[in-house]
Amino acid sequence: MDGAGHLRMLWSIVLPMSRPALVTFALISIVAKWNDYLWPLLVTNNDRHMTLPVGLTQLQHSEGSSEWGVVMAGAVMVITPVLLIFLWAQRHIVEGLTAGSVKG
């Protein structure tokens, strides 16, 4: 990479090597924000602005008794987007975990 500037080295060398770490960090951040429960519970008082975990808890405790079929269907709907993101990013995560290992 003779004559390459700092920006060219960043795009050609650094970012491709750090892609697994960036994807892993993004996935962990997305899951953490997706599952955030306490802060949205404290700041929202309107049913239209509830996050999915808060709404799922409200669904579980509505009308005194839980209909577990409805609660489980809601849980599947809550976990599906995160599961799809994980399945998409799984290759990068595994690559990041095995890239630094010593072979021999």
5 found inside a domain = no
12 found inside a domain = no
Q: Percent of the chain at pLDDT above 90?
A: 3
| pLDDT tens digits, one per residue of 51-87 | 888 888 888 887 666 788 888 888 898 889 889 988 8
- Give the model's pLDDT for residue 104: 46
Q: Percent of the chain at pLDDT above 70?
A: 87
Burial of 20 (0-12, 13-18, 19+ CB in 10 A): buried
61 found inside a domain = yes
58 found inside a domain = yes
CA distance 83 to 76: 10
Domain range enclosing 56? 19-98
Cα 57 to chain center, whole Å? 20
Is residue 41's pLDDT more than 70?
yes
Is residue 2's pLDDT more than 80?
no
27 found inside a domain = yes
pLDDT: which is higher, 99 or 98 = 98
55 found inside a domain = yes
26 found inside a domain = yes
pTM: 0.63
39 found inside a domain = yes
- The total domain count for the chain is 1
Contact assessment for residue 31 and residue 79, using Cβ atoms and an 8 Å cutoff? no
